[in-house]
Chain A
Amino acid sequence: MSAAEDVLFELLHMEIVKTFTDSKDKDDAASKLEYIGFTTGYRFVERATRETNRFKDELDIMKYICKVFWVSVFKKEIDNLRTNHQGVYVLNDNNFRFLTRISSGKQYLQYAPRFVTFTCGLIRGSLANLGINCVVTAEVSHLPACKFQVQVQRG
């Protein structure tokens, strides 16, 4: 059984998703969910890195996101991190918590995007505050696994 405060966070997330996907301006739902994640991540990482030593480089920051950050938010590490060393990072979570409550099966796959958008924003906001501007997208092909792709914007 997950910790009580995590259940509360999960329920809040679920209600946020519902509130914006059910609202009259559905089209904006994704960008609003992403933005709510962005501002949350931006602020959260400011608190969370207070006791953290200065990061060495971009890879050091990505490792922090995959380990410490992911554990703080989702109580597990990212299962696999890959990079092409040219600013593209792929983070695999084989058991992404916001997807574990959706029944697996192809017919439910279409609902997956709304449950990962907040987290795309969460990653983008955290990295933005740590000095990395990027675009974050997610791909779900097998529930409840999720693949987040971070594309760093240089220049």
Chain B
Amino acid sequence: MAVSLTIIGKENSPLYIWMDEGRDSLQLQYLAHTGLDVIQEKISVGQKLPGDSRELYLGLLYASEEYKIYGYTTNSKIKFIVITDVTNAALRDNEIRMMFRHLHSIYSTVVCNPFYVPGEKISSQ
């Protein structure tokens, strides 16, 4: 499984952060933060990369020596960042994509709760 998941709101404030216990949380936060910069670059207006399929899944953002950092963005400008161990060979691109789609589905369910105020930290399970 992944070692960290971060959901980042429209104005780039974190809505939800989860980390595997016993990891260096400061380092993971730093990696996620850098990942967010890469996402911003990828989705910035006017940026027309050749071959960009405009898919919500943005693929591998970058890798450090220990970790891989993946990104996904919704049309509502919410960003998801998932960090996995570099050594985790079980997680292929397609599995990561499915994981993000599942997350997106859960997130949209949370937003649709009439008692949830968009932009608030997510407390639901």
- Interface residues in chain A, defined as those with a beta carbon under 8 Å from any beta carbon in chain B: 39, 42-43, 45-47, 49-50, 52-57, 129-131
Contact = CB atoms under 8 A, between A and B. Distances in A.
Q: Is the interface of A mostly helix, strand, loop or mixed?
A: loop
A42 B74 CA distance: 13
Contacts of A55: 54, 75
Given A42-B111, A46-B74, A130-B77, 6 more contacts: A46-B108, A49-B75, A50-B101, A54-B75, A57-B45, A130-B76
A75 B64 CA distance: 49
Contacts, number: 46
Given A47-B112, A50-B104, A129 B56 contact: no
B105 interface: yes
A43 B45 contact: no
Contacts of B77: 130-131
A54 B112 contact: no
Given A54-B75, A131-B77, A46 B111 contact: yes
Contact of B75 (A39, A43, A52, A57): A52
17 contacts: A42-B111, A43-B112, A46-B76, A49-B74, A49-B75, A49-B76, A50-B74, A50-B101, A52-B75, A53-B53, A53-B54, A53-B56, A54-B54, A54-B55, A54-B75, A55-B54, A56-B54
Given A53-B55, A54-B55, A54-B56, A131 B108 contact: no
Interface of B: 10, 43, 45, 53-56, 73-77, 101, 104-105, 107-108, 111-112, 114, 118
Contacts of B43: 54
Contacts of B104: 50
Interface centre among B10, B74, B76, B101 (most CB of A within 10 A): B76
Contacts of B54: 53-56
A46 B118 CA distance: 11
Interface centre among B10, B74, B114 (most CB of A within 10 A): B74
Contact of A129 (B53, B73, B76, B101): B76
A46 B77 CA distance: 10
Interface centre among A39, A46, A129, A131 (most CB of B within 10 A): A46
Contacts of A53: 53-56
Contacts of B56: 53-54
Nearest to A39: B114
Nearest to B58: A54
B10 A131 contact: yes
